[in-house]
């Protein structure tokens, strides 16, 4: 912001603003560093998906790198705030992406733990903890985002479409979900690996929707 001040911290319920104020303030003060780290993560993510890109029709590429797209969205959200050009749609997309993908990746890393043996332990831990940090970032956005209904609707629509083409109706080619280390037909507690991954993705779309609406309600009530 032009005067270097930080947006005030509203009195919100703990479940929509769980981070201590000093951590929120630190993230906002180091905004450009956070943007840079997210852009590096985005670049790494696109590299990580390089092989999956080669087997996916080009027209469906936007649906492949879910986590790198989320880090790009939050980098854009923070950068636009710093430049005084906030976008509520960008804020909502970043919030949804960082919570949904930030939790989905640790979920599948744990759900299919033995099968991830091809990953070096350092890479496994990097993926696990870096994605959880995406969730932490999401809970700073309430300081400058209001989550109007139109922005929430856009985020829900985008991530619903992404969910459908990832697991249910790919439109072009095969399902575009992140490649799993087990065959889609492999049973896991009576269901397929694809079912397990899809169930997590569905629940983790409901979560940010609920939190965004709760944040909006709390802001209006305050």
Does the pLDDT value for residue 187 go beyond 90? no
| DSSP per position, 114-164 | GGGGGS-HHHHHHHHHHHHHHHHHHTTGGGT----HHHHHHHHHHHHHHHH
Alpha carbons 217 and 47: distance in angstroms, whole number: 39
Q: What is the mean pLDDT of residues 86-115?
A: 94
Does the pLDDT value for residue 116 go beyond 60? yes
Specify burial of residue 77 (Cβ count, 10 A radius: 0-12, 13-18, 19+).
buried
Contacts by 184-189, CB closer than 8 A, 24 or more apart: 188/111, 188/112
pTM tops 0.95: no
Alpha carbons 189 and 192: distance in angstroms, whole number: 8
Q: What is the mean pLDDT of residues 210-220?
A: 96
Alpha carbons 199 and 168: distance in angstroms, whole number: 12
For the chain, the domains span: 21-221
Q: What is the mean pLDDT of residues 18-46?
A: 97
If one counts every other C-beta atom within 10 angstroms of the C-beta of residue 125, the result is: 12
Contacts of 116 (CB under 8 A, 6+ apart): 109, 124, 181
Q: What is the mean pLDDT of residues 93-107?
A: 97
DSSP summary character for residue 6: P
Confidence of residue 177 (pLDDT cuts 50, 70, 90): confident
Average pLDDT value over all residues in the chain: 92
- What tens digit of pLDDT does each residue of 128-174 get? 999 999 999 999 999 999 999 999 999 999 999 999 999 998 888 77
Going from the C-alpha of 36 to that of each of 31, 49, 61, the distances in angstroms are: 9, 20, 23
Does the pLDDT value for residue 2 go beyond 70? no
Per-residue confidence (pLDDT) for residue 185, from 0 to 100:
66
Contacts of 194 (CB under 8 A, 6+ apart): 167, 175, 177, 180, 184
- What tens digit of pLDDT does each residue of 196-211 get? 899 999 999 999 999 9
Per-residue confidence (pLDDT) for residue 4, from 0 to 100:
55
């Amino acid at each position: 912001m032009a005067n270097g001040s930080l947006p005030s911290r509203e009195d919100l319920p703990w479940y929509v603003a769980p981070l201590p104020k000093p951590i929120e303030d630190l993230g906002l003060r180091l905004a450009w560093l956070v943007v840079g780290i997210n852009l590096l993560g985005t670049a790494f993510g696109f590299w990580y998906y390089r092989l999956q890109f080669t087997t996916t029709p080009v027209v469906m590429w936007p649906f492949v790198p879910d986590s790198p797209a989320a880090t790009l969205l939050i980098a854009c959200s923070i950068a636009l705030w710093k430049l005084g050009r906030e976008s509520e749609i960008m804020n909502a997309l970043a919030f949804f992406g960082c919570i949904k993908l930030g939790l989905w990746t640790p979920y599948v890393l744990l759900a299919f733990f033995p099968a991830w043996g091809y990953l070096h332990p350092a890479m496994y831990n990097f993926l696990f903890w870096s994605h959880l940090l995406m969730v932490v970032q999401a809970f700073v956005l309430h300081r400058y985002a209001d989550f109007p209904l139109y922005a929430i609707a856009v985020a829900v629509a985008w991530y619903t479409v992404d969910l459908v083409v990832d697991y249910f109706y790919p439109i072009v080619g095969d399902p575009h979900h992140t490649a799993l280390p087990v065959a889609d037909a492999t049973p896991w507690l009576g269901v397929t690996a694809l079912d397990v991954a899809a169930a997590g993705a569905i629940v983790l779309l409901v979560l940010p929707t609920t939190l965004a609406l709760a944040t909006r309600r709390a802001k209006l009530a305050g």
